A and B are shown apart, each in its own frame.
Chain A
Amino acid sequence: MSILIDAETTFIVQGITGREAVNLTKECLEYGAGAKIVGGVTPGRKGREVHGVPVFDTVAQAIEDHGEPIYGSVVTVPPAFTKDAVFEAIENGVELVVVVTERIPRRDVAAMIELANLRGARIIGPNCLGIIVPDVIKMGGIGGPAKDSSKAYTPGPVGVLSRSGGMTTEMASTLTAAGLGQSTAISIGGDPIIGSTYAELMPLFEADEQTEAIVIYTEPGGKMEAQLGEWVDENDSRLPIVAFMAGRFMDEMPGMSFGHAGTIVEGKEDTASEKIDRLAEAGIVVAEEISEIPDLVREKMGAPA
């Protein structure tokens, strides 16, 4: 199985007529069994089609056309309009919202997440590339065109969580080359506040029979790694975790942001070295290089390397 999405998942693309959205729609339709993208929304563009997907003015119209509730939405609208688009999705019963847009002010992100929590919906992102279940479905630009996604991702036992969209694919590709496939890979987003953190997604992997180990990619900034460490301590998780930490050089450069909006060293707990310690305390192995990850995963899973 997988987490969050599977072959039956229906979703819409909000902002579907934008350049990036047109591409990701095509990529998702062509990948695996072909995503069930049941509609797109761009205000004022009702009646058009994007790669055969009907475009509507509102989410409600898309649902009416589909004839039953729609599970997910990929939101890729400009930052100033993202909060409204996410609100529209959630208030129309969408349960899983993948927010691709970057540069959304925190206040808007926090409001989206609060509404999602009230309504029982989940947000992935912002500033992310989405979710992929190898050979089955992808929801978002993760992995790129179908043929490129297929090169990097293969089905298997490893769950992948990453603060960097591109590095999700780099790690999956490394695992694939070593014969370790992935159950589900999620680009969780590079912002200081995101809808779903490592620790918030762990229970889903924990409950997923296919998943036998977790690989995470992380960076300086924020407290998500400490939160993951606490979760592991408190929940006696069956899943071994292998982490990779990029941006170690930033420890010497407090106050400077690199890579992603959330990647900045402001206090001691933001530093790479502090985070590595926190992860290690929880029994999470931190790889020095990405190429070491497959062997570490095998070792932790108890299989011969």
Chain B
Amino acid sequence: MRFFEYEAKEIVRRAGIPTSKGGFATTADEARKLAEEVSGPVVVKSQVLTGGRMKAGGVAFAENPDEAAEHAERILDLTINDHEPRGVLVDEQVEVEQEYYAGVVWDGLRKQPVMLFSDMGGIDIEEIAETHPDHLGRGHFSNLFPLSDFQAKQVIAAAGITGKQLTKAIPILTRLAQLFVENDMTLAEINPLAQLADGSFVAVDAHMEMENEARPRQKELLEELGVGKDETRQAREPTEFELAGEAVDASSHRGVAGNVTEFDGNLGLVIGAGGGSLTLFDAVRKYGGKPANYCEIGGNPSVKKACGLAKLVLTKPGVEKIAVMMSIVSNTRVDIVARGVIKACIELDVEPAEKIVMFRIPGAWEEEGSKLLERYGIEYADRSVSMHEAAERAVEKAGEGSGT
């Protein structure tokens, strides 16, 4: 999950890293007050979870509080890449002597976090790595042994930095690495990290992302920052259809029938499991099908849950037919999923054999499942029909139905 810049700066501040003065505002008046407190030129920045806000006019500089309020008024109404701003950050304009970059990310192959530091702040870290590798220091660190200052020192020195800058940057990078680990971040970046005329460092902009899996144990921090439980903070906000999918999945703890993502096609998909859904979604598209949704069934959900998911997909506007398909199941029961989807059709007063163009779930309890499917005249396939063949057949039948 991603944090807004104002939250990221608060996290940085809590870790004992100095930041530029300022604060978060949701009205022009609040922005004016913050600018008064700063008592100097400020920058007003839109708080959105998307890039390119500078280009879109979401960042503006103000000489006095009145100007800050004017900018805030405009930016608060400015939609950037379809994102409405949460508010604005009103920050002092600092006199920067030199911009640095400090970051911590995971290295999935080394299976350790890695600290990064550069004296070329303000630009993208990938760009520095590409064009000026000698200005980028990096170093992995342990998750088992305590962090020690020399590790940050080595990384900063490797970027070609020495003198007072080196000694002042050490505690900052060390604290950033600590907050990365303690707060279960997947990305912790200060860019730029500014060195002021007096030699001190302040974080001007920060970017933080937390691992979703860690949200339960980071509850306290999230509450203090005011992050709601229902805020997914993913690449795009969930749609109503997707939220309804989450509600189905949350209706019981047993199994999964959710992870719904909305698409705009006409073929509803009730598919699973993780890898199976990815494979089947690709397969439907490969054969020219237009999926109305993505979803995942797994871990042996109840009839009620499978029924709930099927109903949701069946009632999605534009959905004409559904296909029920999974890779070979070992703990999910074929007959339970079959009962769930048939029940959904009956409760919606539609003919199961008409609506379900294909049922391909081989595996546990398949004999019981096939008896049931036969009784309702639903076309089904066993493991001798590949996932792609089943998808192709589903697309073909869905096309016939719509007369296209």
Residue numbers of A with Cβ under 8 A of B are 20, 23, 79-80, 103-107, 109-111, 113-115, 118, 129, 141-145, 148-149, 151-152, 162-167, 169-170, 173-174, 177, 190, 192-193, 197, 217, 219, 222-224, 227, 244, 246-250, 253-263, 267, 288-291
User: Given A104-B213, A174-B386: A169 and B327 within 8 A (CB)?
Assistant: yes
Q: List 23 A-B contacts (CB under 8 A).
A: A105-B184, A114-B111, A143-B330, A144-B331, A148-B330, A164-B273, A164-B275, A165-B275, A170-B275, A173-B328, A217-B275, A244-B279, A254-B235, A256-B235, A258-B278, A259-B296, A260-B275, A263-B274, A267-B126, A290-B388, A291-B386, A291-B388, A291-B389
Q: CB distance A166 to B275 under 8 Å?
A: yes
Given contact pairs A192-B108, A256-B235, A141 touches B217 in the complex (Cβ within 8 A):
no
What A residues does B282 contact at CB under 8 A?
Answer: 246-249
- How far does the alpha carbon of A249 sit from the alpha carbon of B282 in the complex, in Å? 6
Are B275 and A163 in contact, with the CB atoms below 8 A?
A: yes
Interface status of B375 (Cβ within 8 A of chain A): no
A267 to B211, CA, bound (A): 17
**Which among B106, B236, B363 is the interface contact of A144 at CB below 8 angstroms?**
B363
Min C-beta distance of B260 to chain A, whole Å:
11
Instruction: Verify B186–A106 contact, CB threshold 8 A.
Output: yes
Given A162-B275, A164-B274, A166-B273, 11 more A-B residue pairs with CB atoms under 8 Å apart are A105-B211, A106-B184, A144-B329, A164-B273, A164-B327, A166-B275, A217-B275, A224-B109, A254-B235, A256-B235, A260-B274
Q: Indicate the size class of the contact surface on chain B.
A: 35 or more
Contact in complex: B329, A114 (CB < 8 Å)? no
Instruction: Name the residue of chain B whose CB is nearest to the CB of A24.
Output: B331
Task: Looking at the assembled complex, report how far the CB atom of B391 sits from the nearest CB atom of chain A, in whole angstroms.
Answer: 10
- Tell me the bound Cα distance from A79 to B280 in angstroms: 29
Cα separation A207 to B274 with both chains bound (whole Å): 31
A193–B388 touching, CB < 8 Å: no
Q: Residue B47 at the A interface, CB < 8 A?
A: no
Chain A, Cβ-Cβ closest to B285: A249
Contacts of A169 in B (CB 8 A): 327-328, 330, 363
B15 in the interface (beta carbon within 8 A): no
A174 cross-chain contacts in B, Cβ below 8 A: 386
Question: Roughly how many angstroms separate A261 CA and B211 CA in the complex, as a whole number?
Answer: 10
Scoring A80, A151, A254 by chain B CB atoms within 10 A of each residue's CB, the highest score goes to A151
Residues on A with C-beta less than 8 A from B65 are: none
Pair A223/B388 contact, Cβ less than 8 Å: no
Q: Which of A106, A166, A262 contacts B276 (CB 8 A)?
A: A166
Q: Does B281 contact A (CB under 8 A)?
A: yes
Chain B residue contacts of A255, Cβ below 8 A: 234-236
Residue in A164, A256, A259 with the greatest tally of chain B CB atoms within 10 Å: A259
- CB B246 to nearest CB in A, in angstroms, measures 14
Contact, CB under 8 Å: A263 / B278: yes
Contact of A227 with B109 at beta-carbon distance under 8 Å, contacts A177-B384, A246-B275, A246-B282 already known:
yes
CB distance from B331 to the nearest CB of A (A): 6
Residues in chain A near residue B214, CB distance under 8 A: 105, 107
Across the interface, B261 reaches (CB within 8 A) one of A144, A256, A261, A290, namely: A256
Cross-chain contact A144 with B330 (CB below 8 angstroms): yes
Q: Is the CB of B111 within 8 A of A258?
A: no
A110 with B113: CB separation less than 8 A = yes
Q: Is the CB of B283 within 8 A of A289?
A: yes
Do A170 and B276 have beta carbons less than 8 Å apart?
A: yes
B125 CB to closest chain A CB (Å) equals 11
Query: Does B165 make an interface contact (CB < 8 A)?
Result: no
Collect the chain B residues with CB atoms within 8 Å of residue A113's CB: 111
In the complex, the answer to whether B213 meets A167 with C-beta atoms within 8 Å is no
Closest to B275 in A: A164
Q: In the bound complex, how far is the Cα of B387 from the Cα of A234, in angstroms?
A: 35
CA distance in complex: A163, B108 (Å):
14
Beta-carbon contact of A152 and B328 below 8 Å: yes
B213 with A103: CB separation less than 8 A: yes
Residues of B within 8 A of A193 (CB): 106, 108, 111
Q: Which residues of B contact A118 (CB under 8 A)?
A: 144
> Nearest residue in A to B263 (C-beta to C-beta)?
A249
Q: Find chain B residues with CB under 8 A from A170 CB.
A: 275-276, 279, 327-328, 387
Q: Which of A118, A129, A193, A223 has the most CB of B within 10 A?
A: A193
Are A106 and B386 in contact, CB atoms less than 8 angstroms apart? no
- Return A182 CB to nearest CB of chain B, in Å: 14
In the bound complex, CA of A197 to CA of B111 (Å): 11
Residues of B within 8 A of A254 (CB): 235
Which residue from A79, A107, A164, A291 sits with its C-beta under 8 Å from B181?
Answer: A107
A222 close to B327 (CB less than 8 A):
no
Residue of B nearest to A115 (CB): B144
A96 to B100, CA, bound (A): 44
Instruction: Please measure, in the bound complex, the distance between the C-alpha atom of A115 and the C-alpha atom of B145, giving whole angstroms.
Output: 10
- The reply to whether A148 and B273 contact each other, CB–CB distance below 8 Å, is no
Does B85 sit within 8 A of A, measured CB to CB?
A: no
**B101 within 8 Å of A (CB atoms):** no
Those of B322-368 within 8 Å (CB) of chain A: 326-331, 362-364
Residues of B within 8 A of A257 (CB): 234
Question: Which of chain A's residues has its CB closest to B183's CB?
Answer: A107
Once the chains bind, are B298 and A114 in contact (CB under 8 Å)?
Answer: no
A-contacting residues, B233-260, CB 8 Å: 234-236, 259
Q: Is there contact, CB below 8 Å, between B364 and A145?
A: yes
Instruction: Check if B143 is an interface residue, CB within 8 A of chain A.
Output: yes
Q: A146 to nearest B CB, angstroms?
A: 11
Is the beta-carbon distance between A110 and B112 smaller than 8 angstroms?
A: yes
Question: Which of A149, A177, A260 lies in contact with B383, CB distance below 8 A?
Answer: A177
Is there an interface contact between B108 and A114, defined as CB atoms closer than 8 Å? no
B370 at the interface (CB under 8 A from A): no
B383 lies within 8 A of A173 (CB): yes
B294 beta carbon closer than 8 Å to chain A: yes
Given A163-B275, A170-B328, answer yes or no on A110-B111 (Cβ-Cβ < 8 Å): yes
- Distance of A263 from chain B, by nearest CB (Å): 7
| Residue on A nearest B254 in the bound complex, by CB | A19
Given contacts A105-B213, A256-B261, contact A166 B327 (CB under 8 A): yes
